[in-house]
Structure 1
């Protein structure tokens, strides 16, 4: 929602302990989101058939239909009998100040989801990506991956700020991939007490997004790989850009492309999102996607990626 005035004009400093405010907003936009759904949507747009795992409310029906139409398997989403789907509600004024609330709702039931029956239904996973979710659910799913031998990806993102070092270490150690942005990578080191070399010794690959500066990929004992962001991007709104990058990166890995090509696919998909308001409102054709790959990374990249893009 957008408020035309300024929040600060409605605040009486010596009365904040009795605060009671309402704002007449100019518009209301309801958009689809959630990191798991955003990543799954991106994978679906690239021709994958990702399996969405998590918990939602009975109000999930319309969203489920949308995701299924875009290639996402939603049969393993737990539907709560008592809570609504998690949602973020935000009002912004012209200065960029925000008043926001996050309702976790059904997300707290993610800890009740067992991965074993899902694998029995769909087959062994290439990866299980464990993103920001109910903290107990994240820990449980990480432990289950270790116990059952599923390759897992650690992507704790927003939950890093609310987690202690012990929890973060338990979510990361043994991951095939660790995703984060640059700030989150520093937070991981600060909270775990691990330096960069130690983190690299705990995971297979560390992938760090650098915003407009692209992506850095690190492996223990190897020189870092730096891939620039896609060219000629007109940034409009950054929400969901990291999720799109992950979708593109993982799609490329499923095509057996190397890390450089995976970063390039991720960066081009992320470009579509940053140029659009909303995390799942972007559109592209295979031809248009490859044209952007070629413009940003050259003919060889376009040829290799084009062999897989549908």
Structure 2
């Protein structure tokens, strides 16, 4: 049961700032920011929403198919996908661009400031969903603006249900464009900040958005998540993490749980709980793809957290 993952492949440069952004940013001086953060720790990771989602879905023994663009410097990522046995037949190399790159600074409260160079991602619209072959479910995750629009339309034309996951790409779209995405999508998944921005731009309350799709999923960090479906709200608890190390990629791990649950016919409560567990497993490790639980270990942790097996 293949899940098509339309989104970015990127290299993440992650820096850890020991202080708090709130102590360095003065509220009355935000119009002229000139600050520097000392970051004694730095590392480079494989990332991008599509890469992170696919990695976590593979941990669940799902069948991810990445549709993305990568740059002239992307061979190490392609080799990694081969080692992980994740198909890259829908990954296009753009020789005239660098691979997308994120520069992420995380403070002591797990707040993040990110600078992002799109590179090859800006040409993601050159990929066509028709090239993917049989697909049970897709997700349109943060990617090039034109690519996100095109892939959503392609999914509808091919009768492929899909999750609209605007993520950090949400500010690229106007209210009418976001409303159009909602009309096209089968499901919508956002975090709490994105939910506020989505309602502000579309002028639609969450309950109304939930009525326009099969389900609206809103993640709220340590407060868990909410799923609006069939006129009701399902509250999903946050699974306690072994430790809180790095929030980078937690939302992508959550979405992998959604994809697995939906493609395997799970009810929304179980799907949401599995997604929550995947986020908790990820946050205990640095980077988006450095956790290595086996499928059996994931099953045992789910049973321990919820008292039954998925």
Task: Give the secondary-structure state (helix, strand or coil) at the position aligned to 1:284.
Answer: coil
CA distances 1:208-265 after superposition (whole Å, capped 9, x unpaired): 11211212111143x2111211135421111111100110121122222111111121
Measured in 1, the distance between the counterparts of 2:43 and 2:235 equals 37
Unaligned runs of 5+ in 2: 1-14, 25-30
Task: Count matched residues.
Answer: 288
More helix by share: 1
Contact 1:174–1:204 (CA under 8 A) maintained in structure 2 = no
Query: TM-score by structure 1 length?
Result: 0.83
2:260 maps to 251
Unaligned runs of 5+ in 1: 10-15, 306-310
2:286 maps to 277
Query: How far did residue 22 of structure 1 move?
Result: 9.4
Q: Which runs of 4+ in 1 moved over 6 A?
A: 3-9, 21-25, 92-99
Task: Give the secondary-structure state (helix, strand or coil) at the position aligned to 1:50.
Answer: strand
Q: Specify which structure has the bigger relative contact order, considering alpha-carbon pairs within 8 angstroms and separated by 6 or more residues.
A: 2
Task: Give the secondary-structure state (helix, strand or coil) at the position aligned to 2:218.
Answer: strand
- Aligned partner of 1:43 among 49, 57, 61: 57
Query: TM-score by structure 2 length?
Result: 0.83
> Where does 1:1-310 land on structure 2 (aligned, <5 Å)?
1=15, 26-90=40-104, 101-119=115-133, 123=134, 125-221=135-231, 223-231=232-240, 233-298=242-307, 301-302=308-309, 305=310
RMSD of equivalent CA atoms: 2.8
Measured in 1, the distance between the counterparts of 2:167 and 2:291 equals 23
CA distances 1:106-146 after superposition (whole Å, capped 9, x unpaired): 00110111111222xxx2x1112101111111111111222
Query: How far did residue 92 of structure 1 move?
Result: 6.6
Indicate how the Cα distance of structure 1 residues 179 and 94 shifts in structure 2: closer, same or farther if over 3 A, else same. closer
Q: Which structure's CA Rg is the greater one? A: 1
Task: Give the secondary-structure state (helix, strand or coil) at the position aligned to 1:53.
Answer: strand
More strand by share: 2
